[in-house]
Structure 1
Amino acid sequence: MQNQFDPRTTTGVNTTATVGVPRAARDAGLRSYMLSVYNYMASGVLLTGIVALLFAPYAADVLVSASGRGLSGLGWIITLSPLAFVMVMSFGINRISTGTLQLLFWAFATVMGLSMSTIFIAYTGTSIAQTFFAVAAAFLGLSLYGYTTKKDLSGFGTFLIMGVVGLLVAMLINLFLQSPAMQLAISAIGVLLFAGLTAYDTQKIKSMYAYVAGTDMMGKVVIMGALNLYLDFVNMFTFLLQFMGDRR
C-alpha cells in the first residue's frame, strides 16, 4: 500500500495538470487538498474512538473466547476485518468509484473501533486519554515537518517500510514466546517507525497533488492519503499505549 501512490510509480495521471496555473491558485488548491486529507483522517479517528467507547462494555463478551484465553471466532473476524478493508481499498482503487472508496473508509474506521474497544478494558481511562493527546501533539508536529521540509524523505520510506515488515515478524514470533521484554522493545520500535512514517507519508501525499490536481483520481488519492495518516496515527497510539499505558 505504501507504494500505491508513489509519484514515481503512478501511471495514467495527467502530470501537466498544473502547468500554466498561477502559483497562488496552486497553493490554494494544495491547501484545500491537504485539508480534505486531514479532515477525512480526523473524522475516521473520531469515528473509531466513538465506536470503541460505545462497544467497550460488550467487548469482553463478544471478542474474548469462553475460556478467557484468546479471541473468539467473532473476535478474530472483527480483528482481521480492518486488514481486509485496507487490501480491498489499496488494490481496488482503479476499479472502484470514489463514492465506494468513501464507504469503505468509513466501514474500515468502524470495524477498527470494534477491534480497539478492548483497550478500555485493559488500560485506565486516564492513561488512554494521556496517550491520545501525546500522540496527537506528536502527530501534528511530525506531519507539519513532513509538509514543510525541503528535504526529500523518500529515501527513508523504504527503510521505514522494511522496519514495519520486520516489526510484524517480531510480533508474530512473540505471539508464541510471550516475552514481556520483547513486547516492550516491539512497542518502542513501533512508536519510532510510525513517527517516521507520519512525516514520510505527509510529504508523499503533498507531492501527489501536482499529479492528480484536476483529474478524477484526486478524490481517491485524498481518501487513501487519509487512510495512510490514519494508520500512522492509530499504530503510533497503540504502540505508545502498550509502552507507557497503565493497565487495570
Structure 2
Amino acid sequence: MAQYDQIATARPESALATNKVLRNTYMLLSMTLLFSAATALISMAMGLPQGASMIMSLAAIGIVWFVLPRTYNSSMGIVWTFVFAGLLGAGLGPMLNHYLAMANGPSIVAQALGGTAIVTFGLSFYAVTTKKDFSFLGGFLMVGMIVMVVAMIANIFFAIPAMSIAISGGVVLLMSLMILFDTSRIVNGGETNYIRATVSLYLDIYNLFVHLLVLVGFLSSDD
C-alpha cells in the first residue's frame, strides 16, 4: 500500500516537472525566435555580405557543438542560446535580401513564414494534446539526416538545381518530423532540460523556414 502511495505521488510530480520543462521551453523558444528576427532585420538593413553570413552560421554551429553542451545546466546556457540564435538570425540577412529583391519577393518570404508557422504550431499542438510517443522516429530521422548531409555535400560539386529542390523537400519533411519527435520527447519526459529542448526545436524551425523559402522561391520563379 505504501509503495502504491509513493507511485501515485510521483506521477503528479513527474507531470508537473514535464509541464514546467514544456512551458520554459516555449517561453525561451519564443524569445529566441523574436531575437533572431531582430538580428535578421539588422543584418538586412546593413546589407551583410554572404561571406559574413557564412562565418556567423559556422560560429553558431560551433556554439551548438562545443559551448552549449557545457552550459545546458547553468544560466550561461541561456546567454549562449541567445548568442547562437542571434548569429543564425543575422546569417539569414543576405538570403532574405536575395528573395525580397525578386519581383514577388515579399510574397515568397511571407508564404515561407506562414508555412513554417502553420507546420510548427500544428505539429506541436498535435504532439502536446495527443501525448503520443514519437521516439520510434529516431532511427529514421538519423538516417534521413545523414542522407541529406551527404546529398548537400555532393550537390556542392554537382550544383544540380533539381537536386537542390529535392534536398529542400527532404529537409522540410525531416524537420516536420523532428518537431513531432522533439516535442514528444518533452511531453513524455524524455527531455528534461529546457535549454537543450529549445535549441533542438529552434534548429527544427530554422531549417524548416530556410528550405520552405527555397521551395516557395523555386515554385514562384516558374509562374
Summarize the alignment of residues 1-248 of structure 1 with structure 2, pairs less than 5 Å apart: 19-21=7-9, 26-59=14-47, 62-64=48-50, 71=51, 74-89=52-67, 91-93=69-71, 97-123=73-99, 124-149=105-130, 151-208=132-189, 212=192, 221-245=193-217, 246=220
Residue type at the aligned position of 1:104 = W
Structure with more relative contact order (C-alpha pairs < 8 Å, separation 6 or more): 1
Q: CA deviation at 1:153?
A: 1.6
**Cα RMSD (Å) of the superposition?**
2.3
TM-score (norm 1): 0.76
Higher helix share: 2
The Cα of 1:24 is off from its aligned counterpart by: 5.5
Contact conserved, 2:171 with 2:208, CA < 8 A, in 1?
yes
Separation of aligned partners in 2, 1:122 and 1:27: 46
Q: 1:47 to 1:155 in 2, by over 3 A?
A: same
CA–CA distance in structure 2, aligned partners of residues 150 and 50 of structure 1: 33
Deviation at 1:91, TM superposition (A): 3.5
Q: CA deviation at 1:233?
A: 0.8
> Once the two structures are superposed, what CA deviation does each residue of 1:80-108 show, in whole Å capped at 9, x if it has no partner?
11111111245424xx6521101100000
Provide the aligned length of Structure 1 versus Structure 2: 209
Contiguous gaps of at least 5 residues in structure 2: 1-5, 100-104
2: CA distance, partners of 1:25 / 1:156: 28
Q: 1:106-140 CA deviation, whole Å, 9 max, x = no partner?
A: 00011011111112212122221221122111111
Q: CA deviation at 1:234?
A: 0.9
Separation in 2 of the partners of 1:181 and 1:19?
56
- Partner AA of 1:63 in structure 2: P
2:36 partner letter: T
